Amino acid sequence: MKCAIVPPHVLDHIAENHRDERLRESAQRTLAIDGGRRSARVAAQLIASAEPTGGSGAPKRTVHDAGHRERLPGRTVRAEGAPATGDRAADEIYDWLGVTFDFYRSAYGRDSIDGAGLPLVATVHYSVDYDNAFWDGSQMVYGDGDRQVFTTFTGPLDVTGHELTHGVTQYSGGLDYTGQSGALNESLSDVFGSLVKQYHLGQTADQADWLIGQGMFAAGVRGVALRSMKAPGTAYDDPNLGRDPQPDHMTRFVRTARDNGGVHINSGIPNRAFYLAATAIGGHAWEKAGRIWYETLTGGGLPKDAEFATFARMTAECAGRLFGVKSAESDAVRRAWATVGVEAG
């Protein structure tokens, strides 16, 4: 399924309510592109999963320029080790691919997205006024935004970290992109997208902003980011975007047929659980809380259709194995899930 950083409920609201006809059309075109690439992404996943790669412990990056067309990958503008191009979007993404690669290698000993040295490929300047960025199963793709609501998708590091983590989930056995398992899929990308940024900035859990997509909104938009892991439902409240609909507790779980069962909405519940666990444990969140979530994702036992309660139980068990059943870390994980209304067992 298509995994893009801007969820359809945001684009729907712009397409239906923005006073500027051009921006309504941009949102409609983005929704059409996102829907049209779903089958292409599934095919790319199958191909990528079947191709062996040789790991070297070093990134192999290639950045392309689509020239505002919708053909991938586009013209190569920067390969691994080449100097900066002067194109801000291309150079930002070259750097962020490297930071994300370094995060997974340094924090968890993972060699690229597949764990076996997968080359990191990205395309910038995709389509015209395209309001999104996505992982298509084999590479990253970035639009330039409409410049009135969204001004950048290459600037925020956590956007790249989020989308590449969809690749980590893909190569770790995957999670069905629907309902609670789909919301877990999205939440895991938010978790590690935030941790990539925290790692890059050297932040502890209490220093981090826990925002996803900060910096992508144009001036005048009433919002700080697309999502807040610390306080789901508070990231934005703007006439053109609508109001952030994310719940922070199971009693407010949203039932909808849109967005594969609200995968970008209900991810707020496991997002807050991770934030609570990470801040209770303290220190650098990728070292303990992040390791628990990472080991649960990549350990081979996570069902594709896992619901929140299953993932909660597995993270609690993982914390017990790593730090001790009666450890402060294990207790923090169980308390975090209980606080958002999920029983960890």
Selected catalytic residue, list 125, 162, 166, 264: 264
Residue 18 catalytic? no
Residue 73 three-state SS: coil
- Angle between helix axes 8-17 and 259-266 (nearest 10 degrees) is 100
Residue 264 catalytic? yes
Instruction: Quickly count helices (H) and strands (E) in the chain.
Output: 11, 10
Question: Can you say how many angstroms the Cα of residue 338 is from the centroid of all Cα atoms in its chain?
Answer: 24
Q: Give the span between the Cα atoms of 13 and 10, in whole angstroms.
A: 5
* Residue 297 vs residues 165, 166, 207, 239, 311: alpha-carbon distances, Å: 11, 11, 25, 37, 9
Q: Give the span between the Cα atoms of 10 and 241, in whole angstroms.
A: 6
3-state helix, strand, coil in the chain (%, to 5): 45, 10, 45
- Angle between helix axes 8-17 and 21-36 (nearest 10 degrees) is 150
* Residue 237 vs residues 84, 171, 194, 242, 278: alpha-carbon distances, Å: 38, 36, 22, 6, 27
Selected catalytic residue, list 92, 163, 186, 317: 163
Q: Strand 227-228 vs strand 211-212: parallel, antiparallel, or unpaired?
A: antiparallel
Active site residues: 163, 264
